């Protein structure tokens, strides 16, 4: 029951537009229920999201209110949506792990209770009733949507790895089902010791390293 109890304290401090049930103790539960009563999935939106928080407990709290039940797993939820003009990297990654869809875009023209349609492939956000384009965006990585489908980064990594090994064992070519991460351009410069250490862990040749933004898995 830790997550549901901890989630009660989310947004517990009163501020413009936020009305806690018990200021300092219990967050704006009535406001949350009023938004959910509209019948659409609810996204957590902010200008700057996820800074100064315990990333896992914060993610769990957000998804407890706005995520989806996990079959046979009590007191925890996954999925959900989180949008921010800026999302703290470590919070963004934790949302990915939970199977949520975190997207960075300009949230200036969004307000609490707005009903919007998000088109992740087209990279745009429109108002549900009028079709007016609110803002546009680009996903940080094309792999993000695969992560959402798989229920998180870890299930995707495990499933993709099992698929790769099974196909190799059967003499089949590599699967084209999964999106491929885009490799950053090679700067031609040397590598730091840390980059070389990661490179060695991922099976790269001696002296080679991993550039920032590169996707790799330990071998």
pLDDT tens-digit profile, the chain (219 residues): 578 999 999 999 999 999 999 999 999 999 999 999 999 999 999 999 987 667 888 999 999 999 999 999 999 999 999 999 999 999 999 999 999 999 999 999 999 999 999 999 999 999 999 999 999 999 998 899 999 999 999 999 999 999 999 999 999 999 999 998 888 888 888 999 999 999 999 999 998 999 988 888 888
Task: Based on the fold, state whether residues 27 and 90 are members of the same structural domain.
Answer: yes
Straight-line distance from the first to the last Cα atom of the chain, in angstroms, rounded to the nearest whole number: 37
Per residue in 67-86, pLDDT (tens digit) is 999 999 999 999 999 999 99
Residues 132 and 104 in one domain: yes
119 is in which domain, residue-wise? 2-140
Are residues 10 and 117 located together in one domain of the fold?
Answer: yes
Last residue of a domain, one of 140, 164, 191: 140
Give the pLDDT confidence score for residue 56 in this predicted structure.
87
The CATH number that applies at residue 7 is 3.20.19.10
Asked if 44 and 125 sit in the same domain, the reply is yes
Q: Residue 166: helix, strand or coil by DSSP?
A: helix
Q: With the C-alpha atoms ordered 38, 43, 48, 50, is the resulting torsion angle positive or negative?
A: positive
196 and 136 fall within a common domain: no
In 3D space, the residue among 173, 153, 149, 154 whose CA is nearest the CA of residue 163 turns out to be: 173
Residues 161 and 176 in one domain: yes
Residues 59 and 160 in one domain: no
Q: Go through 9-36 and write b for each residue having 16 or more CB atoms within 10 A of its CB, e for each that does not.
A: bbbbeeeeeeebeeeeeebbbebbeebe
Distance CA 117, CA 101 (A): 14
Residues 136 and 146 in one domain: no
Dist. CA 32–CA 11, nearest whole Å: 11
């Amino acid at each position: 029951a830790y997550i549901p109890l901890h989630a009660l304290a989310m947004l517990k401090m009163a501020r413009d537009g936020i009305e806690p049930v018990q200021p300092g103790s219990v967050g704006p539960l009535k406001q949350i229920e009023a938004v959910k009563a509209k019948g659409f999935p609810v996204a957590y939106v902010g200008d700057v999201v996820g800074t100064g928080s315990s990333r896992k407990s914060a993610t769990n709290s957000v998804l407890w209110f706005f995520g989806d039940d996990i079959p046979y797993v009590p007191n925890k939820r996954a999925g959900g949506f989180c949008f921010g003009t800026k999302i703290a990297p470590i919070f963004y990654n934790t949302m990915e792990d939970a199977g949520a869809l975190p997207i960075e875009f300009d949230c200036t023209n969004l307000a609490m209770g707005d009903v919007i349609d998000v088109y992740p492939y087209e990279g745009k956000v429109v108002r549900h009733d009028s079709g007016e384009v609110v803002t546009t965006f680009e996903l940080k990585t094309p792999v993000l949507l695969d992560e959402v489908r798989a229920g998180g980064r870890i299930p995707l990594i495990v499933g993709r790895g099992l698929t790769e090994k099974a196909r190799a064992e059967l003499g089949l070519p590599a699967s084209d089902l999964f999106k491929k991460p885009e490799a950053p351009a090679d700067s031609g410069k040397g590598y730091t010791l840390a980059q070389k250490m990661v490179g060695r862990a991922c099976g790269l040749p001696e002296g080679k390293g991993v550039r920032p933004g590169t996707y790799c898995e330990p071998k």
